[in-house]
Amino acid sequence: MPFLVAAVVDEPPNPWLSWTYVTDHVDALVAAGKEHLLITLASVALAMVVAVPLALLVRRYPGLCGWVLGLGGVLYTIPALALISVLWPMFGLSPLTVTIALAVYALLVVLRNTLVGLDGVPAEAVDAARGMGFGRRRLLLKVELPLALPAILAGVRLATVSTVGLVTIGALVGHGGFGTLILGGFVDNFYHAQIMTATLLTVALAILLEGLLLLLERVLTPWSRIRSTS
């Protein structure tokens, strides 16, 4: 009875790359992309708003430095999955849960780079500014922060790229941008095309943001171009 054999063996094709998938799901892909981008930008922005003032505070009171970096290191060690989970009872199944959790990781990267950048400000530049009668505030805004800018921006770029990857884990609470599609594709009978498309778009988003931030670094710090050849 040949028809029985055919009934058992016949499996539908499940390609990894499918243009039909993309054209059929444009809306879902755009929505996921928007969420992914928004959570990434919100996390990094939140991290910057906290990290830069925190770096200044730590410099003002050096005794705090060990504590802050130590606590940051402890938080950085805890996996994103765990941090998202522990915020879930407080903030629920919302994008906010993912944003706050990921801001913690971005925070440490930006904080470290800001401290490194401020430490790297040449003492001569500070002396010269003091000699010219610069007060503490003017020294900071006109000399120290501009000179630390390349390091700060490099930290922001690094934080952004890793945040793009981490957002996917937000799928746990249903707000992981492309990650939600990856998890959904997995649950939906190993839907290869959906998993692969969402993965490639995540990578593309990371590369795009990295490129844009590199460009921004060049525009904002034209003087550092000479040194950046290595």
Partner 1 sequence: MSTAVEVWQWLTDPAHWTGPDGVPIRTAEHLRISITALLVAVVIALPVGIALGRSGRGSFLAFTIGNIGRAVPTFALLFIFASWDPVGVGDLAAILALVLFAIPPLLTNTYIGLREVDVDAKDAAVGLGMTSWQRLWRVELPLAVPLVAAGLRTTTVQVVATASLAAFVGGGGLGRYIVDGFGQQDTVLVVSGVVLIATLCLVTEGVLALLQRAVTSSPLRSGSLVASGSVSEG
Task: Using CB under 8 A, list all residues that contact partner 1.
Answer: 74, 77-79, 81-83, 85-86, 88-89, 109, 112-113, 116, 150-151, 154-155, 157-158, 161-162, 164-166, 168-169, 171-172, 176, 179, 182-183, 185-186, 190-192, 195-196, 198-199, 202-203, 206-207, 210, 217, 228
Least distance CB 65 / partner 1 (angstroms): 11
The amino acid at 30: V
In the complex with partner 1, which residue's Cβ is closer, 95 or 179? 179
Please tell me the distance from the alpha carbon of residue 156 to that of residue 154, in angstroms, as a whole number: 5
Q: Name which of 158, 159, 167, 174 is nearest 201 in CA terms.
A: 167
> Would you tell me how many other CB atoms lie within 10 Å of the CB of residue 5?
9
Q: Name residue, tokens 């910057």.
A: 48
Least distance CB 67 / partner 1 (angstroms): 15
In the complex with partner 1, which residue's Cβ is closer, 143 or 176? 176
Q: Give first-to-last CA distance, the chain, whole Å.
A: 71
In the complex with partner 1, which residue's Cβ is closer, 99 or 162? 162
Q: 196 Cβ partners below 8 Å, 6+ apart?
A: 16, 17
* b/e per residue 72-100 (b: at least 16 CB within 10 A): beeeeeeebeebbeebbeebeeebbbbbb
Please tell me the distance from the alpha carbon of residue 84 to that of residue 142, in angstroms, as a whole number: 39
In the complex with partner 1, which residue's Cβ is closer, 37 or 158? 158
Least distance CB 130 / partner 1 (angstroms): 26
Q: Cα 37–41–42 angle (5° rounding)?
A: 115
Least distance CB 127 / partner 1 (angstroms): 24
Least distance CB 18 / partner 1 (angstroms): 14
Least distance CB 153 / partner 1 (angstroms): 8
In the complex with partner 1, which residue's Cβ is closer, 95 or 155? 155
In the complex with partner 1, which residue's Cβ is closer, 53 or 211? 211
> Would you tell me how many other CB atoms lie within 10 Å of the CB of residue 111?
24
